[in-house]
Chains A and B, each alone.
Chain A
Amino acid sequence: MSAGSIPSGNQIKDPGYPTASENYLTNSKGPWTWLFTLDHKRIGVMYLIGVMTAFFAAGLLALLIRLHLFRPEGAVFTGPEANNWYNQVFTLHGAIMVFLFIIPSIPAALGNFLVPVMLGAKDVAFPRLNLSSFYLWVFGALFFVGALMASGLDTGWTFYTPYSTSTDSSVILATSGAFILGFSSIFTGLNFIVTINTMRPPGMTWFRMPLFLWATYATSIIQVLATPVLGITLLLLIAERVMHIGIFDPEFNGDPVTFQHFFWFYSHPAVYIMILPAFGVISDLISVHSHKRIFGYRFIAYSSIAIALLGFLVWGHHMFTAGMGPMTTIIFSALTFTVSVPSAIKVFNWLATMYKGSISLTTPMCFALAFIFLFTIGGLTGLHLGTLATDMHLHDTYFVVAHFHYVMVGGTLVSFLGALFHWWPKMFGKMYSEFGGRLAAVIIFLGFNLTFLPQFVLGSRGMPRRYATYDPEFQTLHQVSTAGTLLLLVGLLVALYVLVRSLIKGERAPANPWGGATLEWHCTSPPPFYNFDRPPAVGDPYDFSDIFWDTENERYVTVEPDREIAPTETPEPAHAESTN
């Protein structure tokens, strides 16, 4: 790509702006046209609203946790029930964040919007299934709200037996919710696999797919393979509570370690459900905003699949201290190291992509850079935890808390925000304030590190997780962490403000505001209802050589050498004569 003037003697290809009847946001009106829509883009937007609401709710709970931990004896919840309150709050925080926000965030909300458009398809393969996934998500969320209304939930998001079979809180409601959410996730994954397999237009070969699609594909594989096991685990847990089947409950000769095996067989792969789409997003963001072909396309693509498969081999690293056999422990520890290799491959490739690129420090790029930094810390500390000897010390301390927040917040959330800022103009047709966006990115980055970096120190000094009170020696670090949370909150609010303001006051977005080469930038912003009238011409998704900055109109355009089309007659529709 080159910035500046458009070479003369060339034709500018730009889809322009959609009319109100083309625009998927406005082509039909009324709440029912949204609630019963089969359009993947509208479903994506509904998901977006849903997951952001969940994020807001769980975020408030997180704020409560951190405020409570401001003082060693606990600052927010007082009285005899203080610890119970604390347990409920951190449990619901974790459960809502994991099941209602992070898992559906990128794949369901952004994926739904992007997958068909990036692929050049009209819709996902099963639009009704898609809508029903969304409603399953809503039902699952309602169950969680029900659990909250009933008697809360205090098992931690992991629902470990035997506590979960003996506590009085509403385990059944919450697990039913998670069960339903699991099916929502399965159907989304299934839909994407089929879409990517069978709905590719001519010319869209596997290796012309944007890396986001590869990542989504890998994620979907995990969703389809791992989530059912969560389903049966939760079902058995419910049965255990209702009629004491004695599989997990030691009181009836069950084995709680078996529960942990079942749970982590899903939940370790699930962490890759959370991070793989983020990898895909970052691959696209880095390449587009560095205006340079992605380095090692095939490596990144294959490493997504490798992660998806290897991710099934390491679940035991969550159970090193749970009473597994020594042999299993060692095997799982060794396997854990292998899974970090493909992740590292990706990081190196992103760095190599940026090298000698012409980087525009736009908001999405700021988030992408933050991601690389934060994910690297999160991933590397994962190796500390995967090492048997160190994990004996670090297990169930704040070190683990910091590790997974670095990958889930620093990784997934940050890339979710990056993706949101990157595709926002495409989704809603509005440009936001660049300054505001960058400011949000910087504040979030600082606030996040301030919150969670001290927790590594806390953990390695022995501060256990999931406690409502702590020794005074930890106070300073806890207070720093709480201060960081407030800063993080400010950053998120700035981001929200910037986005909402853009909807009201933002400028109209051009079709290609960043200079991307993937197919979604070839249709208008926002895309028309049908995405593409006819199957689009598919090129290399990371070839920026024919994309130029149009200084006059402040937009990127695709440029084609002038061509004369020889016959001027309109071609017959291809299969008109074979109609029966």
Chain B
Amino acid sequence: MSTIEAAAENAHDDHGHDHDHPSFLAHHFDTPEQQFDSGKLGIWLFLVTEILFFSGMFCAYAIFRMLRPDVFEGCSQFLNTKLGAINTGVLLFSSLTMAWSVRCSQVQQNRGLVGMLAATICCAMIFLGVKAIEYSHKWEMGLLPAGLYFYDPANPHPESHTNYLFYICLPFMILLGGVVAWLIASLVTRNTFHLKCAMPLSVAAACFFVGIGLGMVLESGDSEHGSEVAATAELETEISLIANSDDIALERLAGDAANSGAKSELNARMQQLETAGSSIVQDGEEISGAIVSVEENVMTQRKAGVFFSIYYCMTGVHAIHILVGIGFLVWLLIRAVREDFNPQYFGPVDYVGLYWHLVDLIWIYLFPLLYLIR
């Protein structure tokens, strides 16, 4: 990402030959437009690498969802749709403010630019706060990647010894403390430049806790436990359906296109039996027995683990991108306060904006793929 810095590099006037180079134009470019075009192409290429970077995880997702649709469906119930949707909204809004700040920089509205950038950072912080609630809750339940998974349906909320939420919050508390200290220091010294930077940043740092609060409120609502209960209830009906297993129930199950899990399991079972040499068994008892066990066992380490692995990898890498993005936005904010940008030189805002929209774009896909499997 130092693309941006490179493009933003200031001219070295000591080389003497650039008589009419404005200060924002790097020495090896002829015109601001050439500099802008280079930066733009550079950032687009960088986004290409980002897309291919994420493609690995999307590929893993696609393979395992194809292989085990039932596992994905079952596990997805444990993700809180409300929180996901809220976070989608927050990110979309941050995209709006980001696009708006690009506009501000293009028309040289400096106050607006600072405001919009600050709003973008605030949204990013809220997003992370909500994410922290989601993560910590799942960790407490043991819904973890395959190797660490310890969720037990009989005891979904084990007595927790570690307060994960606290550990996630800790760095943000320190951050908030630091920024507030900066704010106070700049108030005391009456340094307007520092004040102008520190004020929006303190608000932004506090926004993380707004996100935490938002997450807690939504989480304590019916949603997840409700869906959990609903899920188990569904399971039970399904199991009871199968338990009085006759041909009708079987057919219903397999014929129901929605129940792709049961269907593929049935297919797999049939195939297995076939390869095992026995004829296709019409006896419902055996097949249904298998399905019951599968339905019951979706939330085992061997199965659900992969879903949560993929969930953590994708959202985790996405969150890292958000963090990096916040870093760049802060840099932009400081430069915006310094009034560095003008219609000839707004490249950095534009490039960070593109990056930010890409992060949003990826979330646009992650949300339905992870949270909305039905």
Contacts and interface: CB of A to CB of B under 8 A. Distances in A.
Interface of A: 121-123, 125-130, 132, 186, 190-191, 193-195, 197-199, 224-229, 231-233, 235-236, 239, 243-247, 252-255, 258, 262, 530, 533, 573, 575-576, 579
Most interface-central of B5, B28, B42 (chain A CB within 10 A): B28
Nearest to A189: B45
B38 A199 contact: yes
B303 interface: yes
Nearest to B316: A239
Interface stretch (B52-60, B77-85, B102-110, B196-204): B52-60
Closest 5 CB pairs of A and B: A244-B147, A232-B56, A246-B146, A245-B309, A126-B6
Interface string B72-107: 000000000000000000000000000000000000
A40 B57 CA distance: 35
Nearest to A121: B28
B184 interface: no
A121 B2 CA distance: 21
Interface of B: 2-3, 5-7, 9, 15, 17, 19-20, 26-28, 34, 37-38, 41-42, 45-46, 48-57, 59-60, 63-64, 144-148, 301-303, 305-306, 309-310, 312-313, 317
Nearest to B304: A246
10 contacts: A127-B6, A193-B41, A229-B56, A232-B56, A239-B313, A247-B64, A247-B306, A247-B310, A253-B302, A573-B19
Contact of B38 (A125, A132, A252): A125
B49 A190 contact: yes
Nearest to B1: A129
B57 A236 contact: yes
Contact of A224 (B27, B45, B301): B45
Contacts of B146: 243-246, 252-254
Given A125-B6, A195-B38, A197-B38, 7 more contacts: A125-B7, A125-B42, A126-B3, A132-B2, A190-B3, A229-B52, A247-B309
Contacts, number: 146
A374 B48 CA distance: 35
Nearest to A223: B49
B59 A197 contact: no
A232 B19 CA distance: 46
A228 B53 contact: yes
A576 B21 CA distance: 11
Given A246-B145, A252-B302, A129 B50 contact: no
A440 to B, nearest CB: 37
B145 A128 contact: no
A224 B57 contact: no
Nearest to B147: A244
Contacts of A239: 145, 309, 313
Nearest to A197: B41
Given A121-B28, A123-B28, A198-B38, A253 B20 contact: no
B358 to A, nearest CB: 13
A126 B7 contact: yes
A128 B5 contact: yes
A228 B305 CA distance: 25
Contact of B52 (A225, A235, A243, A255): A225
A252 B41 contact: no
Contacts of A573: 19
Contacts of A258: 60, 63
B48 A224 contact: yes
Nearest to A133: B2
Contact of A127 (B9, B53, B309): B9
Contacts of A255: 63
Given A193-B45, A227-B49, A229-B56, A198 B37 contact: yes
B305 A252 contact: yes
A127 B53 CA distance: 24
A579 B18 CA distance: 12
B52 A253 contact: no
A515 B216 CA distance: 74
B145 A244 contact: yes
A252 B145 CA distance: 10
A114 B113 CA distance: 41
A258 B60 CA distance: 8
A576 B52 CA distance: 45
**Contact residues of A: prevailing secondary structure:** helix
A228 B52 contact: yes
A232 B362 CA distance: 15
Contacts of B56: 228-229, 232-233, 236, 262
Contact of A129 (B2, B17, B59): B2
B59 to A, nearest CB: 7
Nearest to A575: B20
Most interface-central of B20, B145, B301 (chain A CB within 10 A): B145
A244 B9 CA distance: 43
Contacts of A129: 2-3, 5-6, 42
A243 B26 CA distance: 46
Nearest to A227: B49
Contact of B6 (A128, A229, A530): A128
A325 B34 CA distance: 50
Nearest to B51: A228
Most interface-central of A186, A231, A239, A246 (chain B CB within 10 A): A246
Contacts of B310: 245, 247
B147 A252 contact: yes
B145 A127 contact: no
Contacts of A126: 2-3, 6-7, 38, 42
B9 A198 contact: no
A194 B37 CA distance: 9
A198 B50 contact: no
B138 to A, nearest CB: 14
B147 A229 contact: no
B42 A194 contact: yes
Nearest to A232: B56
Nearest to B15: A530
Nearest to A191: B42
A199 B26 CA distance: 13
B67 to A, nearest CB: 9
B306 A245 contact: yes
Most interface-central of A231, A243, A247 (chain B CB within 10 A): A247
B151 to A, nearest CB: 14
B45 A190 contact: yes
A245 B145 contact: yes
B46 A190 contact: yes
A229 B28 contact: no
A232 B49 contact: no
A246 B2 contact: no
Given A126-B6, A199-B38, A252-B146, A246 B306 contact: yes
A362 B53 CA distance: 44
B229 to A, nearest CB: 28
A243 B57 contact: no
Contacts of B313: 236, 239, 245
Nearest to B34: A198
Nearest to A573: B19
A491 to B, nearest CB: 38
A109 B283 CA distance: 70
A193 B43 CA distance: 12
A253 B146 CA distance: 9
A244 B2 CA distance: 33
A239 B315 CA distance: 14
Nearest to B308: A245
Given A122-B27, A128-B2, A236-B57, A186 B49 contact: yes
B28 A190 contact: no
